[in-house]
Structure 1
């Protein structure tokens, strides 16, 4: 049995419908065996649970742990040699990436996430060659790493069965490239393809492996419309419904993906998913940058969720998702850091500030732009609703899991902060990772003042450095050369791809040519 008390001058239980924090002053949270049992005044709870270990003080602010609702890898593409190209060019530029041990890679980004207050991550794995057996082993390594560090994770292996490099059939694209690289490209793409039946088997194997694990869950991820045929999408939906798990799907991340959907379906990607019966509260759409107003209304009407990946969209020239329209229509929105945030890391505090400010369109009506409370809700309960842990994380209430972040208020406000500014505004605008005293997951302090209690960060980073200091393997070198050889042909494929698109009418008009 483990039990503890976490004290705080202000305990933020969650965000109300009005965007204001639901707070308890001079408070304490009592957890037992990883579950919140009691919340109340500090004096009352210290008297009621005198034997419990204590953390925090009246100098601290306690709030729910953050949820990174969209994540893929540890070492970033930039670290592994791929610049910030537009998304469609990125896939070719990443072909030569170094192989990184999956335990080390997972821990690398987990360190960054936890240090910024993230307690749960939505890990969407994929883009990996191999057989069912080798991918099963790889998935197991990722899940084991999260359990090792003590982080909560929802895992899925993304289903991709077609159009692996560009938005047309692999065989057609291979025929476009020079004859001398066709065999190598065809062989590379063949290694990347896992049959749909094997994807579904993998989900069942992982779900069986994961049975009884408190920190990890398994769900399904049809990777994107262009990567899945209609039969596959419906099969994945049936599997998810049968297992009672949610789905996470990239959708219209870029203008090119919007155009692909028009060519394939004659309409929008979201309208097509609606026809196939995929929309609903169990589906989260990653990105959604190019959803139009009718799409947003339909998503809201069906309860479909969206994950806003603000920094990723900016880095990859994908555009600016219409968050203010999502808000107006009442969509459930989570926040995701995707491959890496604006600083090439996984810093949720920075991402929250970015999302807050990117959507501050010209005008003076506060209701037109996100509030700090709304952004915090996206990073906590909104994100929680996109995972299998929905209803158990994202708020601090008795009966929920004891996942929380303890901030040092003196550190945040040093050397001065006027008392008239609301606490939540100060926290969102000013808090940095250095201001986090402790991160708790299932009641366990897994990070204290930047130091991790279960895994030696320095040891892991040194091991990564040593492994990647070795020369590229023959396979890595061959993929690097193939990526360089095919890059110009990928770019040429998209040269006139948007020529027939309808004129754009942006949701936001922050600047004007005339």
Structure 2
């Protein structure tokens, strides 16, 4: 692999020595790794020299939680809480799985948009009903391998009937609608573990950067034996146990309805709070929940935008940080966010937590948000030894931005510019594992025009089929609306904290 020397740049390493304070210097990339960082480095023979004057070099951004299965639903939905939105984005009544070519293009499009906007690593919990298929999983791996992005990939696992994973569902769902939801025998734990082991054997580590992770959908959607087997395998393979917990108030009610305790306490009882545990959302958590999470070294993927679009609430990020929980940033799926840009999530995360309380000294800072988007996100993916900061020996996953641009003019503080001003427009180059994958406004790994042309040709017919699926599933809207209504009125035995203080006892 070619050697690259970035000379005379402003370097934002986000490492232990410098944090988010930039310094001047050079970066030498050799064989995909950062070989040296410092002043006046001597270029090896044959090295490509990149002029870093008026340029900021920073770690590639980490998307700690997304769903490639939503990529074709950009700009399609609004004004729905999660439980209703799921009927359309993840229908109960399903058609045949999306065709393999569209499955590939759907994943490729997400990777392309991510790389263009400085995301060098994504964690994709894609949905591919009705069964887990190694060949289809391999199609997603191939898309990420071809795009040149780093990724953790899994297809969400669940084996509890939808109506048994929601409070009030059986009592408010008419019998004729319940009869429509015959999904056949649930997936067994042994079958899913066998699938995961096959994925590790045949796909994990493809191209040195596309990995398999374990993704049980949520504790209310999976049997205890499935969840515990998933954790055992995740620990053995040193990969994330990636799951959704307490995204909505309905899910907060679910834990107490089904188990007599919060879903976090339930996970603690099952031994599911570990260093490997990465929780998407963590909005409706109590102080007790957060203490358990911090003590266990759990990570949270904070989806600041999607939580607002779906009306889920605001995660208590300051309290999570103070209690020792690692935070990363996720876009969630493109349907509940409408972009794959982590820069957008950074800006929202930097702004929205100021409403959490009057103690402005505890508001989330730009430095903290930048760490979430880089090294924090790497930790949620269990890749902090590989990426997330610019350090000798780590993979050369980095972004080069032009400081002679509107978001940085005039220049004051790097972290604040990146969080509050930058939107990706200043990006000149993106590198993953030492390979330049985006340069001068063009992806180097993919023919974007050809991909767009193929999408324009194939996706409209698929979306027409999906529109019919939406119509069929709309019969469940009154049911989900009633569940949502009842959950909003039900009492919770614990304080629900918004930021740094409880909003009320509910």
Same fold, TM exceeding 0.5?
A: yes
Are 1:330 and 2:361 counterparts?
no
SS in 1 for 2:9: strand
User: 1: distance between equivalents of 2:486 and 2:357?
Assistant: 37
Q: How many residues align?
A: 496
Counterpart pick for 2:487 among 479, 489, 497 = 497
CA offsets, 1:428-479, max 9 Å, x none?
22222220010000011101133100111121122112112337677x5663
Structure 2 match to 1:198? 191
Structure-2 residue corresponding to 1:7: 7
Contact kept in structure 2, 1:407 and 1:438, CA below 8 Å: yes
1:488 aligned residue (474, 478, 481): 478
Q: 1:277 aligns with which of 271, 285, 290?
A: 271
Q: Deviations over 1:142-201 (max 9, x none)?
A: 11000001000011222111133673499x84993353x555x234x349x543322212
Whether the 8 Å contact between 1:16 and 1:22 is mirrored in structure 2 is no
List per-residue Cα deviations over 1:259-295 (Å, max 9, x = no partner): 1001122111111111111112111111000111111
2:57 maps to: 62
Counterparts of 1:403 and 1:366, CA distance in 2: 34
Q: 2:444 aligns with which of 439, 450, 453?
A: 453
TM-superposed CA distance for 1:75, in Å, is 4.9
Judged with a 3 Å threshold, the aligned counterparts in structure 2 of structure 1 residues 139 and 212 are, in CA distance, closer, same or farther, namely closer
Extract unaligned runs of 5+ from structure 1: none
1:376 corresponds, among 370, 374, 397, to 370
Q: Distance in 2 between matches of 1:357 and 1:494?
A: 28
- Choose which of 204, 216, 219 in structure 1 pairs with 2:213: 219
TM-score, length of structure 2 as denominator length: 0.90
Residues in 1 aligned to 2:369 and 2:335: alpha-carbon distance in whole angstroms: 16
User: Pairwise mapping of residues 66-145 of structure 1 onto structure 2 (< 5 A)?
Assistant: 66-73=61-68, 75-76=70-71, 78-79=73-74, 81-94=76-89, 95=91, 99=98, 101-126=102-127, 128-132=128-132, 135-145=133-143
TM-score, normalised by the number of residues in structure 1: 0.88
Q: How big is the shift at 1:210?
A: 2.1
| Whole-Å separation in 2 of the counterparts to 1:7 and 1:174 | 67
Aligned-pair CA distance for 1:70: 0.2
Instruction: Give the distance between the partners of 2:213 and 2:55, measured in 1 at CA.
Output: 36
Q: Deviations over 1:22-68 (max 9, x none)?
A: 5331x111111111111111xx21x3425311224211000100100
Residue aligning to 1:157: 155
Q: For residues 473 and 182 of structure 1, what CA distance do their matches in structure 2 show?
A: 26
Q: Does 1:265 find its partner at 2:259?
A: yes
Which residue of 1 is the match for residue 249 of structure 2? 255
Root-mean-square deviation (Å)? 3.0
Q: Which moved more, 1:303-312 or 1:478-487?
A: 478-487
Aligned to 1:339: 333
Cα 1:182–1:288 change in 2 (3 A) is: closer
